[in-house]
Amino acid sequence: MTNESTILDRFLFRFISVLVASLYVSELGSIHSIFERLLTIEFYYEFGVTFLIAITVTELLYRINQVLSRKYPLHDHTAMRILLQIVFGLVVPAVLVFLMAALYFGINGINIFKTDYLVFVFPLVVVLLILLNLLFILVPYFVHAYRLQKEKGTFRNLDREERSSGLLNPVKVLDGASVRYINANDILLAYIIEGKVLIKCSESSELLTDHTLDELESLLPGDQFFRINRKLIARKDCCQGYRPESYGKLEIEVSPVPPVPATVSQNKAKAFKEWIGSKIPID
């Protein structure tokens, strides 16, 4: 997940969007024009109920997506995230919409199964839920990519003093409420904890970054840093040695000790040995 804030995080934007969508859904299949309907009490009753259902489900879906993005970032838990998104982002809200609609019809003495709701309205609701899921998932990634591109343009325009200080490939970190850039030479480890990417610069210093590990892997010099696994990048100086494990894996001795496993897969074991060079295997 990225931690980018987008227009979707603004309640006013969600409120207005739901208002427009509710108007469309409430008028779906009506034989009268909206101008005629505006003069009737039934219009405001139906529109009010539709809006109440829509805003409830939208806010629920927004909160669900926030939790899933924090605990199961798409780029780190792709299969699990897709499964959970289908269950909690589509099936659960769709069932909730149906139950609230059935309650509304029931209060008015109508059996929902004897209406055209399931034929015309509910399929549209499912389509809107799919689109809403895609928006909540993909928009932050597009915003993140756009901002990264702008930052890369900024990096190319670093003045002479910054270039002479060694900040040729600066890494963006979040230091409290401020944003700053650090040199790759200051980084020891980078790892993922609970969906957040942290950079370790010393034994006692950890900094949050909104880069993904994939992005950090491309930013950091390959001769000095190695992607140990999907949760860890380590500097060569921090890799003290390695020992063979089952199925051709390697257990890496890393100092400082990272809070995530430091195991290299069988597929990357040969590449790691070539990269680490003269380091001796640990008995």
pLDDT in tens, 191-245: 999 888 999 987 677 899 988 999 899 889 999 999 999 999 999 999 999 999 9
Q: 239: which residues sit within 8 A by CB, 6+ positions away?
A: 226, 252, 253, 254, 276, 279
Q: What is the mean pLDDT of residues 68-73?
A: 81
Determine the pLDDT at residue 163. 41
Q: Which tokens belong to 79?
A: 């299969």
Determine the pLDDT at residue 148. 58
Instruction: Decide which of 194 and 4 is more confident.
Output: 194
Global confidence as pTM? 0.55
Q: 64: which residues sit within 8 A by CB, 6+ positions away?
A: 88, 89, 92
Q: Model confidence at 98, in pLDDT bands (50, 70, 90)?
A: very high
> Is residue 73's pLDDT more than 80?
no
Arch. (CATH architecture) of 164-276? Beta Barrel (2.40)
> What's the angle, vertex CA 12, arms to CA 8 and CA 13, rounded to 5?
40
> Is residue 112's pLDDT more than 90?
yes
**Domain map (residue ranges) of the chain:** 7-155, 164-276
pLDDT digits (tens, 9 = 90+) for 7-57: 888 899 999 999 998 888 777 666 677 777 778 888 888 889 989 999 999
> Is residue 65's pLDDT more than 50?
yes
Instruction: Decide which of 166 and 198 is more confident.
Output: 198
